[in-house]
Chains A and B, each alone.
Chain A
């Protein structure tokens, strides 16, 4: 969401900057241009120079030849009049006819300020008289009326600063107004787009300039919601289907198991018949475990398994599972070695007790299932800096490197979308992996440190328990 205001700000910033740049360029250009043309005090100084170039000899006034030539080249006529009488003491040869040779004070004032017979005239004061230069018509524009209030001139710097400040503020207001206006119309659109990937339903008001965009976003959101709903419905249907089937199998299987078990201990049957009944019991148990696993795996896969997460002591949970197996009197064939460090009695984690017990017993059962000739099972809980690690290993026949790779990398058929034709392994490990994942952890499958098969469940720890009590 931060990118949109940034974009608008950058865009308006560039606009603002270019405006200022243009303004400055124009001002600079204007200044340069006028600087080149303004100093049109040139005719004034020429008049002054001409006045200075006048010399008197025996009551006759003459101008220096250089000056005369210069005036001639510019087609300027000149009259030098006496200060006292107003009579022309000297005039240039190119004096037009309409130019008088006698001047009154008011005429002088008028020609100084303006024109004489449309000739722009300029004056320069000489030793005894006044030099009047007449430039060709329409060569200069004279403006002699300008006069300013002194106070105004005095406050020019302040006025300029004020105007400049007002301008800047105005530009800023326009900038902010445009910025917020643009943001206001873009913001809901941007927010809507941002919400889309989170899967939330988006409903924007379809108003303003961007109403079409808003409508498109609403439509997209609606489509996504429908798809999500359909997918969830499908997943729920699948999980429910599995739950339903497994439920319906349970009651008939109870009877198969129950009666077969009774038969296996019946006095009326001979040994061979009892053995057959035992096989029925054993196989029924396999079916029972299978439907339990299938149900749990599908629920975990579709996030339909309710988790009851509490602070738990991982050591206590694993200890209980191990003791349950030991109490089941399997110790002759599958002795369990408890390898947890002696000083580790508490390792706190957030966990669903039942599920974690299920994961650990799955691993122990797994070792037993794959080593019919018996093996030693090594169980440990260790605490690392941040994690709690539960390790179940055996010294049984183990797996090849290739099988290990497959177990680690290949998806289980339950969660695989292509039809799996390869040999399928049980659901035990898949469930362990799913349980670890639902606890924010993971599993590592290896040969273990006893040349067999080993799985480590790594779960995030919850820190230290309160201090030791007496």
Chain B
């Protein structure tokens, strides 16, 4: 599921449990990641970061000589790369603290390998964008880079809101995105009362991307809940 370019990214893994480190490395390697460095303490992690200059750090919260939040602060001083927390403390408190300090995501132990891989790939894709790909749909393709739809050789421009909505749908391609998440993507926080506007925008998007806008196949409605963008391989 992960694009090739992200497998080349360098990952620093910090956890005090050698066996867990070993397992995570094996999970990552099996999925195709090649450049992985590990550390068992804050000191080792800082050394490794200097030597290795990672593209992503996976940190445990509790380390023998400090905690992960403090380590993240020190790491972020030397380089701006995403941080994923691996924590045994599932408390919400910790999650919020992590996010507040600039953590990009967290995985609560115990986790399934595919859960971890999904988060790692998502962060890497979000932070190291390749050129925005051409999204292939049933009746057209979308050039998100240029905010254009290419349909029957014709180029149709997307408005800013249409672009935001399509990007949000594309990021979750094949999955339902709720009405509320779409409103938030287009209008920001507390998007109450935009449901009708959303419907109008969806209608206009369909006119641009669907063969038959009244019988949509790419951008489908899940009644009362949200919308789903079906891409073609």
Contacts and interface: CB of A to CB of B under 8 A. Distances in A.
Interface in B51-91: 88-91
A254 B181 CA distance: 31
A470 to B, nearest CB: 6
A316 B194 CA distance: 13
Interface string B168-188: 000010011111110000000
A254 B222 CA distance: 36
A467 B112 CA distance: 45
A295 B17 contact: no
Interface in B19-45: 19-20, 23-24, 26-27, 30
A467 B113 contact: no
Given A251-B109, A292-B90, A340 B224 contact: yes
A254 B111 CA distance: 6
B96 interface: yes
B160 interface: no
A254 B172 CA distance: 27
Q: Which 6 A-B pairs have the closest CB atoms?
A: A316-B180, A253-B110, A250-B88, A254-B110, A250-B109, A338-B224
B192 A465 contact: yes
A288 B88 CA distance: 11
B195 interface: yes
B196 interface: yes
Nearest to A328: B175
B226 to A, nearest CB: 6
Given A254-B109, A261-B112, A322-B225, A345 B195 contact: yes
Interface in B187-233: 192-197, 222-226
Contacts of B131: none
A104 interface: no
B89 A247 contact: yes
A251 B20 contact: yes
Interface residues of B, number: 41
A323 interface: yes
Interface of A: 243, 246-248, 250-251, 253-259, 261-262, 281, 284-285, 288, 292, 295, 306, 308, 313, 315-316, 319-320, 322-323, 326-327, 338, 340, 342, 345-346, 354-355, 465-470
Contact of B30 (A248, A262, A308, A323): A262
A258 B108 CA distance: 13
Query: Which has the most chain B C-beta neighbours within 10 Å: A251, A288, A313?
Result: A251
A346 B180 CA distance: 10
SS class, residues of chain A in contact with chain B: helix
Nearest to B26: A262
Given A254-B20, A308-B92, A284 B197 contact: no
A319 to B, nearest CB: 5
Contacts of A256: 110
B227 to A, nearest CB: 10
A247 B61 CA distance: 12
Nearest to A323: B176
B192 A346 contact: yes
B113 A261 contact: yes
B114 interface: yes
Nearest to B224: A338
A323 B226 contact: yes
Contacts of B4: none
B89 A467 contact: no
Contacts of A284: 110
A288 B110 contact: yes
Contacts of B196: 468, 470
B192 A308 contact: no
